[in-house]
Chain A
């Protein structure tokens, strides 16, 4: 029996639309009270004085790539959980793009077992929707769900066969599984490595047109409507994608969408002279697109923010731009970078925390994203005004490919709590 009192907290909890100064009482890993200051300290309780700092439900990151199994030198389940804790992320959905691919019950069980033994935050496996992510043969949705997979996805790969996708969506609906897809037309994208446009042309790099994202997304949305499946557009980057999703929603499709923190923070010009840490999928787009992503997030047309944490090392990044791998780490900079949008008055704080915590938990049916009494005490204490300089040497992730190196962020995680236990303490 242990009790902790978080005093003088600015509690922001989108699940209760609460933004108030008050106290939180955690008893045996469960939130017992969340709201007005309580008079007396319960007997035997430890106390944390939050000193007016922000207290929010721990972040829920719905798109995290991990190197285990197969590339443990880049990231393990244990190391990713340490990085997550430092970023205030208390729950994450792990992508199935590992080696071997997580397309089988045994692998889902492996992830859960490893996480239980070694991870300090909640790791939820997602499962490949086709065997080996090949886009041809369906995996065992029901068995995977029952083993603990919380989402189906084809990972980094877009399914090109519309019939396979239709069947997958139809079948997933029966099992109540959300299907999360990233869309990029392999033919249109061809050898492309960055956003198509003047900048790519001067650099002599092959471009990826925006239509490479939009065309398969529109196709997917039609199939989501046809099948009635719950479809999540995992990582969109263009104005037109937002519009397509908005229209599909208005037609009644069960569609949600996400955007990576990178596409909310950066644009194609950040690539500069071939900086491979900025090589991402979808590619960083124009500043107009970035701004459109921000305002769609503020409006709620984009539901959630993901880090799209994707650890890469020198073997895959210290190469000429076109030859380098895609992806950037992001768990530890997610909140700091997102708070920029609050500091700049582009996105209200409540919506921001909703997109980082409450909403992803709702979409994927996770017991997270809320400070309501009775909830598991997954909590982040954040100093919203603390300035800090991102430096790769401070990152806990095994890989250091951050596009925010030397960025000045305002707002950092002071303490992270998972089920009432402190898993990260800045001091």
Chain B
């Protein structure tokens, strides 16, 4: 199959077929990553630049490793504390990098739409590694891969996404992807942490963990940033954990074999209890492994499409 996209800016716009193709490719990458010899020459000679306007150790490391395993030359640029403060704009930075002829640009930015804006201005492929509260497509893909490998399928599973959906790009990408693959998606959160119109976003809405987690196959927790307390979204960590934090009692409402997931980094004792994060149902570490595999798959497919396939 020829992947019909030049960039990966979001899950929005991907077909079920596109997603399955990416996941199948990622399955192969998992095999490769588990071998002693982990490196291929698929992207040899190509240059990947990780352009991070927002600090993120994990995602950046994951993309870096993915590129290196495929043989690409990888350069990391953290812009959050250098040029932007000097007044250089996002576009200027992008144009500068573009002049260096990268083949793939991995972008994270705190503003929604930033990666789409960049994609209009540069001549290489762009992968969105998170733009504001908009999308984080590789996270949704790695979540899907984790679920598929553990449950054998995604269609007709019930997945509860719990916590700060309002500010979460992970939640938006997951809602889109899980719906595209036929899962039943729920969100569980206090209304202050849900976006307006959530009922029309293809989810069932719950405001308490008991009914929200009942009979779910997957419990996906979201990070709650501590700034949300001062922003009057929720009153305190104590209260939040009491009603919406995942502990053994609340997890017991889900199916006994339900998976526990978290995109990281976790706030232990805020949205998830340590015993659950480290417990037998947790696949959080596996998510990290799948992250590298999915990013390898994404970059390989975009580069192959870039060579032979139609540009979009």
Contact = CB atoms under 8 A, between A and B. Distances in A.
Contact of A204 (B134, B197, B198, B200): B134
Given A274-B113, A320-B111, 10 more contacts: A198-B201, A201-B198, A204-B133, A205-B133, A209-B196, A319-B117, A320-B90, A320-B109, A320-B113, A320-B117
Contacts of B109: 320
A308 to B, nearest CB: 24
Given A202-B172, A204-B131, A204-B132, A321 B198 contact: no
B111 A322 contact: yes
B89 A319 contact: yes
Interface of A: 196-207, 209, 273-274, 315, 318-323
20 contacts: A196-B196, A197-B196, A197-B197, A199-B197, A201-B197, A202-B172, A203-B113, A203-B134, A204-B112, A204-B134, A205-B112, A274-B112, A315-B89, A318-B91, A319-B111, A320-B90, A320-B109, A321-B112, A321-B113, A323-B111
B256 interface: no
B196 A201 contact: yes
A204 B133 CA distance: 4
B117 A274 contact: yes
Contacts of A206: 133
Given A204-B132, A273-B116, A319 B200 contact: no
Given A198-B196, A204-B169, A274-B117, A322 B90 contact: no
**Nearest 6 A-B pairs (CB), nearest first?**
A198-B197, A204-B134, A274-B113, A320-B111, A204-B133, A201-B195
A209 B113 CA distance: 21
Contacts of A318: 89, 91, 117
Contact of A202 (B91, B117, B201): B201
A360 B113 CA distance: 39
B91 to A, nearest CB: 6
A199 B200 CA distance: 10
Nearest to A193: B112
Contacts of B201: 198, 201-202
Nearest to B53: A320
B192 to A, nearest CB: 13
A198 B111 CA distance: 18
B197 A274 contact: no
Contacts of B133: 204-206
A291 to B, nearest CB: 20
A200 to B, nearest CB: 7
A77 to B, nearest CB: 28
A312 to B, nearest CB: 14
B114 interface: yes
Contacts of B117: 274, 318-320
Nearest to B92: A318
Nearest to A195: B196
B135 interface: yes
Interface string B277-306: 000000000000000000000000000000
A204 B180 CA distance: 19
B48 to A, nearest CB: 22
Interface string B190-223: 0000011110110000000000000000000000
Contacts of A200: 195-196
A91 to B, nearest CB: 37
Interface string B77-113: 0000000000001110000000000000000010111
A209 B111 CA distance: 20
Interface in B112-126: 112-114, 116-117
Nearest to A275: B113
A204 B135 contact: yes
A104 B67 CA distance: 61
Nearest to A199: B197
A109 B311 CA distance: 57
B105 to A, nearest CB: 15
Contacts of B200: 198
Contacts of A205: 112-113, 132-134
Nearest to A207: B196
Residue of A199, A204, A206 with highest tally of chain B CB at under 10 A = A204
Contacts of A199: 197
A190 to B, nearest CB: 9
A321 B111 contact: yes
